[in-house]
Amino acid sequence: MTLLRANGVSLRRGGRAVVSGASLTLGKGRVVGLIGPNGAGKSTFMRMLAGLQAPDCGQIDLLGRNIGQIPPGLRARQLAFMPQDGEKPPPMSVRSLVALGRMPHGQMNAQAARHPAVTHALAATGLQNLCARPASHLSGGERARMNLARALATDTPVILADEPIAALDPAHALSMMHLFRQQAGQGKGVVIVLHDLVLATRFCDDLVLMDRGSVIRHGSPMQVLDDDIMRTVYGVTVRRVGDAIVPWALCR
């Protein structure tokens, strides 16, 4: 079952093509890694997939319906978007912030905080013991898990995450990727922007490789990340450890 599909979407800014003819398909129970060098257009493409930026042309369908025609409230119950972690969170408790994920369902304050989906999200991300702590006092890894918990509390069939493991240590990065994999195991579809190609090859069912605004290759990790692509797109040689691809040396 296809949950999310983008077909030939493009966006120009200031006369420059930021995304050009990009396509992506997300199926039920799948994890798709959106990869590519800095400036490839990944974050802009993700915002279009989330319905936050309308494309100039092309179409994006969420659960079989043009995403531009879905009311924002309904879209928020069908798709959870985790932007890049930016500003420090407000000094509200972790449980209260995670409970904001229930707002698309019309649940707020104490009603939302008591909802089983919030309790489940805190447990799934290992935040039960931190639920009373001010969110502003969390470490980077804890904050990443909190942001995921908020998305999980909404309980949507589609989850989009823009660089959720950036700047995390190996243990926290692995923990986050396992959580995304678990969500897919429950039948949800997940798209993740990643720079860590080792984790991308290990945890993603499919990879979509962007460069200069275009999707230049998509398929299984082994199909996408061959030696030629790594040299031409990333400018590196690789070594292979099992099924993982490890960037090894500069070739430019």
Query: In this predicted model, what pLDDT tens digit does every residue of 65-88 receive, in sequence order?
Result: 999 999 999 999 999 999 987 678
CB 168 within 8 A of CB 18: no
HEC sequence for 188-211: CEEEEECCCHHHHHHHCCEEEEEE
| Residues 98, 236: Cα–Cα separation, whole Å | 40
CB 58 within 8 A of CB 6: yes
What are the residues whose beta carbons fall under 8 Å from the beta carbon of 170, sequence distance 6 or more? none
pLDDT, residue 140, reads 83
Strand order in the sheet with 16-27: 16-27, 2-13, 57-62, 65-66
- Selection from 62, 59, 23 nearest residue 156 by Cα: 62
The reported pTM is: 0.94
Q: How many Å is the maximal CA-CA distance in the chain?
A: 57
Tell me which architecture the domain covering 2-250 has in CATH: 3-Layer(aba) Sandwich (3.40)
HEC sequence for 66-119: EHHHCCHHHHHHHEEEECCCCCCCCCCEHHHHHHHHHHHHCCCHHHHHCCHHHH
- The DSSP element (H or E) to which 249 belongs, if any, is strand 244-250
| Residues 40, 194: Cα–Cα separation, whole Å | 12
Express each pLDDT in 125-137 by its tens digit. 999 999 999 999 9
Domain spans of the chain, in order of start = 2-250
| Residue 168 confidence class, pLDDT cut points 50, 70, 90 | confident
- Selection from 239, 238, 240, 235 nearest residue 250 by Cα: 235
| Residue 141 confidence class, pLDDT cut points 50, 70, 90 | confident
Q: Say if residue 50's pLDDT is above 90.
A: yes
| Residues 26, 46: Cα–Cα separation, whole Å | 13
